Amino acid sequence: MAPNQNNPNPRSTLRVALIGQSTFAADVFHRLRLHGHQIVGIFTIEDKNNREDPLALAGRENDVPVFKFKTWRKGGKVIPEVLHTYMGVNADLNVLAYCSQFIPMEVINYPRMQSICYHPSILPRHRGASAINWTLICGDKEAGLTIFWPDDGLDTGPILLQEKCAVEPNDTVDTIYKRFLYPVGVSAIARAVDMVAQDTAPKDIQSEKGATYDAMLNKAELQKIDWTKTGKQLHDFIRGMDSVPGASCTITLPEGEPQYALLFGSTVWRKPVPQGTEIAIEGTKPGVIHEDGLLLTGSDGVHVNVKRVKLNGRMREAARLIESSNQVALKYTTEETNFVNSIKTIWESILKTELEWDADFFACGAGSMDVVRLVEEVKDLTKAELANEDVFLAPVLDEFCTTVILKLRGSSAPTEIEYEGVELEVNGMTVKVPCQLFIDGKFVDSADGQTLTSVNPSDESVICKVQCASAKDVDKAVAAAKKAFETGEWSKISARERGQLLYRLADLMHEHREELATIESIDSGAVYTLALKTHIGMSIETWRYFAGCTDKIQGSTIPISHARPNKNLTFTRREPIGVCGLITPWNYPLMMLSWKMAACLAAGNTVVIKPAQVCPLTALKFAELAAKAGIPPGVINVLPGTGSKCGQAIAAHPHIRKLGFTGSTEIGQVIMKTCAESNMKKCSLELGGKSPLVIFSDCDLDKAVRLGMQSVFFNKGENCIAAGRLFVEASIHDEFVRRVVQETKRIAIGDPLLRSTSHGPQNHLAHFEKLLEFVQIGVKEGATLECGGKRLDRPGYFFEPAIFTDVDDHMYIANEESFGPIMIISKFEDGDIDDVLRRSNATEYGLASGVFTKDLSKALRFAESLDAGTVFVNTYNKTDVAAPFGGFKQSGFGKDLGQEALNEYLKTKCVTIEY
């Protein structure tokens, strides 16, 4: 309710002349009208760039007379025409709302109630034009505002009212203004006008005790940092100059010339001095550029960290000062220049202020609706395909303009991804693959210079040397991931915007699917047509599925007992875990990466992944595409390396909070122990398998033969859910064996890049030799080798698919996983369901299983009784991105794919509120 509604005083409504030019003044305009006062005239500045200031716009929209004076004085005297115009509005009171002009005393004293003025300080302290700055520079414990009666000294007049607030340790000009001086100032002015109207406004004479008059900080010598100050004083000075005009100094970057620099984003550094690169700073000790900013030293040895540095008019992250900027330098055409200037006008229209090219959209006060408006207006102007996340990822005006122009030129990414790699002419195309580690959005060499050799399993030729990550590289990657999760762009965008980035990544993977399939084929031996459909195709489907899950992660409200007479509200939040480590196998290099990482990122986490040592190339190509898709630096880090060094460092790292692993049971046990001993990190393990496939005599035998072969030989048998042992009912055993032997001998083995090939080389030499040894053990144990089991007489790791019969339960090959194209067939007596169930479950593995029968009751009994995470009935290998995947017993725990996979990368927080 407006104050005048409670006040019978007939003078409670005043005729007010409002003098100012800011958004603050526009809000005062609306607040005074809400309190019942009449604004009879607005006096403001002339338009800039044909655009009205916010106060003038508010007046025009509400049919209030607006007067725009370039100046009120000439030669130190009031301009008669201006004074006459002013006097014509016949105001009871002048309100100077953050007025930047020098108003003559003839105007100040003309209204019958004279004038009141807003000042952002606790007068008499910090009289002058830069009061907020000096409040911080002087280290004041309190800040505040004053409404006073201006005299010929303007801010030396009597005080009407004051409001105070505590200065927080890292306050800046912007934070104090937005948190207190702006909102409280608007209400304070309205309250002061009410007091004037009600004759209750005091006029307390200012004391000269403690009075200061501080200079306006518009001269270069006043903006320069005094390095004789203590660390706390340096911090106060830098934050007092943030965001305008900036604290200045002269720095010299390595191998560069001295440069004038402005520093922003200061905090007192209370942690150990980090390692970094020293840069020279004129007049003081060298600064240290480190992963979190630029470290400075006060005269007392106390350190100060700054986050941002402006060089040559461009704001940059202090941590990246010595790195070359990723932003593409564009030379605009005439049409593009017109677009850029128009985009600047759109920004200024939305933000209602004049902007420089380094203006930050959100730092200038933009909100979510402003993002929508900006995107739509720029799309209407340029016809560029923009999305909201383009604003979040390029919030600075000149960077945003570059993004738009690049999209108009047909490029979706505003960065050039540079790396050292290998270029290959293969499969009728030119393929370029990175050969470095991918850390914090960049391809870099390993700390110790070690490399891995990537070998083509088709001909045993060396494809390239790949950088091999050390424990130091893991530390760097984890630090980048932690920063991205806690303070980076990834932590700021919404779940829906995160999903849009993942969709964009999936689109890029689809665009490069032939290239990815080719890399997968030469690096892992995957048949190209299968790689295109499954290795790459299902990877893309996985990213799209989880991109759609990002904004569907939600908690619930829970009814609990009330604490009478109060009530309780309890709800849960589903939150990301933080930095996650992933270690993936060599059988499906890109698909296993995607199964885990897509759910991990959809949940909002960041990732450090170690792909398989023997085939890391698709993971590195994926990293390049992720950067091009606009995934922010630090979100994805790819570290090729050995399990003993890189893998162990990831598992043991104290800042990794979740580990996802696919591999052998033996390594999984080591991983789990390390997770427990390091920091009790959460882990999910997809381990070994010896999956049973039971084939009853009442099955569709043609289908059972065809899918039985696929259950073993799919992807060269390098398949975690491969049927490790086939149990065939006695009455059809011999016919089944005859037919699978016949069909197996027809399998087209050869170059995986040939479209006619259906079976390629095994992944790598060590695995190939283990398969030969596995066959030898089977023969030695007395099993019958029906066919295959030998090396083909040609270069490459080509292995003839093998079939064993007469396999007894105690044999090595009946219990151990071959992870290759070796079919193990055992017979069971007709109708003995109980015994074959027992034999099927008589293993410590429980990843997958299958049954072929036309008897629905029998099928359902097996689905219920088989102790495995996946049961296939009259099919096999039918996985889908929406269906959860994971094992029981020593096949591990946790799920990939489906909604359940998100649970592996989320934590549940319970919140209870009493009211």
Give the CB-side neighbour count of residue 553, counting CA atoms within 13 A. Answer: 31
C-alpha neighbours within 13 Å on the C-beta side of residue 262: 19
Is CATH 3.10.25.10 what the domain over 220-320 is classified as, yes or no?
yes
Model pLDDT, residue 4: 38
Burial of 732-741, coded b for 16+ CB within 10 Å and e otherwise, reads bbeebbebbb
- pLDDT in the model for residue 47: 82
Q: What number is the average pLDDT over the span 201-210?
A: 94
100: pLDDT strictly greater than 80: no
For the stretch 33-53, what's the b/e string if a residue is b when 16 or more beta carbons lie within 10 angstroms of its beta carbon? bebbbebbbbbbbeeeeeebb
pLDDT exceeds cutoff 90 at 242 = no
Q: Residue holding tokens 């790195």?
A: 323
Q: How many other β-carbons are positioned within 10 Å of the β-carbon of residue 57?
A: 17
pLDDT at 368: 61
Q: Based on the number of CB atoms within 10 Å of its own CB, is 243 exposed (0-12), middle (13-18) or buried (19 or more)?
A: middle
Phi, psi of 105 (to 5 degrees): -65, -25
Q: Among 790, 796, 748, which Cα is nearest to 771's?
A: 790
How far is the C-alpha of 912 from the C-alpha of 153, rounded, in Å?
A: 55
Q: Is 818 annotated as a binding residue?
A: yes
Tell me: is residue 275 an annotated ligand-binding position. Answer: no
d(CA 630, CA 609): 19
Q: Is 59 annotated in some ligand binding site?
A: no
> Known binder of ligand: residue 61?
no
817 marked among binding-site residues = yes
Q: What is the mean pLDDT of residues 40-51?
A: 82
For residue 496, which of 534, 449, 552 has the smallest C-alpha distance?
552
The fourth-level CATH superfamily of domain 15-198 is Formyl transferase, N-terminal domain (3.40.50.170)
Q: Are the beta carbons of 435 and 401 closer than 8 angstroms?
A: no
User: Using CA atoms, how far apart are residues 163 and 51, in angstroms rounded to an integer?
Assistant: 34
Q: CB of 639 within 8 A of CB of 653?
A: no
Whether residue 432 has pLDDT greater than 90: yes
Residue 2 has pLDDT above 50, yes or no: no
pLDDT at 218: 84
pLDDT the model gives residue 10: 38
In order of 325, 333, 398, 409, 845, the CA distances from 330 in angstroms are 13, 9, 11, 11, 58
- Could you tell me whether strands 658-662 and 682-686 are parallel, antiparallel, or unpaired per DSSP bridges? parallel
Residue 742, annotated as binding a ligand: no
Q: Which of 140, 139, 131, 92 is nearest to 112 (CA)?
A: 92
Lowest mean pLDDT among 105-109, 454-458, 563-567, 660-664: 563-567
Confidence of residue 64 (pLDDT cuts 50, 70, 90): very high
> Residue 297, Cα to own-chain centre: how many angstroms?
32
659, containing H or E segment = strand 658-662
pLDDT at 840 over 80: yes
Cβ contact 671:661 at 8 Å: yes
User: What is the predicted pLDDT for the residue at 51?
Assistant: 64
770 annotated ligand-binding residue: yes
Q: Select from 466, 592, 464, 454 the least CA-distant residue to 525.
A: 454
782-786: Cβ within 8 A, 24+ apart: 782/806, 782/808, 782/811, 783/807, 783/808, 783/811, 783/813, 783/824, 786/737, 786/741
* C-alpha closest to that of 410 among 289, 560, 511: 511
Domain with CATH 3.40.309.10 in the chain: 692-886
Amino acid, single-letter form, for residue 787: C
Instruction: Tell me how far apart the alpha carbons of residues 220 and 248 are, in angstroms, rounded to a whole number.
Output: 8
Model confidence pLDDT, tens digit, residues 261-292: 999 999 999 989 988 999 999 999 999 999 88
- Average pLDDT of every residue of the chain: 92
Contacts for 396 with CB less than 8 Å, ≥ 6 apart: 315, 358, 359, 360, 361
Does 322 have pLDDT greater than 90? no
Burial of 677 (0-12, 13-18, 19+ CB in 10 A): exposed
For 48, the token pair is: 């800039």
Counting Cα atoms < 13 Å in the Cβ hemisphere of 875 gives 6
The catalytic position among 377, 720, 733, 904 is: 720
Across residues 445-474, what is the average pLDDT?
97
Question: Between residues 232 and 102, which one has the greater pLDDT?
Answer: 232
Peptide bond into 243 cis (omega under 30): yes
Is cis: bond before 632, omega within 30 of 0?
no
By the 10 Å C-beta count (0-12 exposed, 13-18 middle, 19+ buried), 884 is classed as middle
- What is the mean predicted confidence (pLDDT) over 183-203? 96
Before 124, cis peptide (omega within 30)?
yes
The H or E element spanning position 401 is helix 397-408
Q: What string of DSSP letters covers 59-101?
A: HHHTT--EEE-S-SEETTEE-HHHHHHHHTT--SEEEESS--S
Query: Where, residue-wise, is CATH 3.40.605.10 in the chain?
Result: 421-686
Letter string b/e over residues 418-430, b meaning 16 or more CB atoms within 10 A of that residue's CB = ebebbebebbeee
**Mean pLDDT for the stretch of residues 300-315:** 86
Kindly report the backbone phi and psi dihedral angles of residue 262, in degrees, each rounded to the nearest multiple of 5, phi listed first: -115, 135
Q: Which of 489, 686, 729, 904 is catalytic?
A: 686
Q: Is 611 annotated as a binding residue?
A: yes
Tens of pLDDT, residue by residue over 401-419, are 988 887 776 544 445 688 9
One-letter amino acid at 251 equals I
- Tell me the mean pLDDT in the region 833-849: 97
Domain with CATH 1.10.1200.10 in the chain: 334-409
CA 777 to chain centre: 51
**Cα–Cα distances in Å, from 854 out to 528, 703, 704, 781?**
35, 12, 11, 35
pLDDT (tens digit per residue) in 855-877: 999 999 999 999 999 999 999 99
The pLDDT of residue 525:
97
Q: How far apart are CA 243 and CA 259, in angstroms?
A: 20
Return the amino acid letter for 279: I
Where are the domain boundaries for CATH 3.40.50.170 in the chain? Answer: 15-198
Three-class SS state of 856: helix
- pLDDT, residue 330, reads 57
Across the range 528-551, mean pLDDT stands at: 97
Q: Is 103 annotated as a binding residue?
A: yes
* pLDDT at position 751: 96
364 is catalytic: no
331 CB-contact burial (10 Å; exposed 0-12 / middle 13-18 / buried 19+):
exposed
What does the alpha-carbon distance between residue 912 and residue 903 come to, in Å, rounded to a whole number?
Answer: 22
Please tell me whether 201 is known to bind a ligand.
no
Of 861 and 23, more confident? 861
Q: Which residues have a Cβ under 8 Å from the Cβ of 41 and sit 6 or more positions away?
A: 17, 18, 64, 65, 66, 67, 86, 89, 91
Query: Do β-strands 142-148 and 159-166 pair in parallel, antiparallel, or remain unpaired?
Result: antiparallel
- Asked if residue 1 has pLDDT above 60, the reply is no
Residue 111 annotated as lining a ligand binding site: no
375 burial class (0-12, 13-18, 19+ CB within 10 angstroms)? Answer: middle
Mean pLDDT for the stretch of residues 775-787: 98
Question: Do residues 897 and 880 lie in contact, with contact meaning Cβ atoms separated by under 8 Å?
Answer: yes
Cβ neighbours for 264, distance < 8 A, ≥ 6 positions apart: 238, 242, 243, 246, 247, 306, 307, 308, 309, 310, 315
Ordered DSSP codes for 38-63:
EEEEEEEPPPBTTB--HHHHHHHHTT
What's the token pair of residue 261? Answer: 């620099």
The CATH 3.10.25.10 portion of the chain extends over 220-320
Architecture of the domain delimited by 692-886: 3-Layer(aba) Sandwich (3.40)
The pLDDT value given to residue 129: 84
Q: What is the pLDDT of residues 662-717, one digit of tens each?
A: 999 999 999 999 999 999 999 999 999 999 999 999 999 999 999 999 999 999 99
Decide which of 518 and 152 is more confident: 518
652 or 310, higher pLDDT? 652
Token pair 């350190």 is found at 303
Residue listed under structure tokens 């007395």: 782
pLDDT band at 325 (very low <50, low <70, confident <90, very high): very low
C-alpha distances (whole Å) from 402 to each of 310, 344, 384 are: 19, 12, 12
Query: Is residue 720 annotated as a catalytic residue, yes or no?
Result: yes
Domain 334-409 belongs in CATH node 1.10.10.10: no
Beta-strand (E) ranges in 810-900?
Answer: 822-828, 845-846, 848-852, 870-873, 888-889, 892-893
For CA atoms 108, 109, 112, 118, the dihedral sign is: positive
pLDDT at 326 over 70: no
What burial letters (b/e) apply to 389-410, b meaning 16+ CB within 10 Å? bbbbbbbbbbbbbbbbbbbeee
Architecture of domain 421-686: 3-Layer(aba) Sandwich (3.40)
Label residue 5 by pLDDT band (50, 70, 90).
very low
Instruction: Write the pLDDT tens digit of every residue in 709-723.
Output: 999 999 999 999 999
Query: Is 643 known as a binding-site position?
Result: yes
Per the annotation, does 644 bind a ligand? yes
* Band of residue 760 on the pLDDT scale cut at 50, 70, 90: very high
Among residues 35, 119, 126, 653, which one is catalytic?
119
Handedness of CA 763, 766, 769, 771 (dihedral sign): negative
β-strand partners of 41: 17
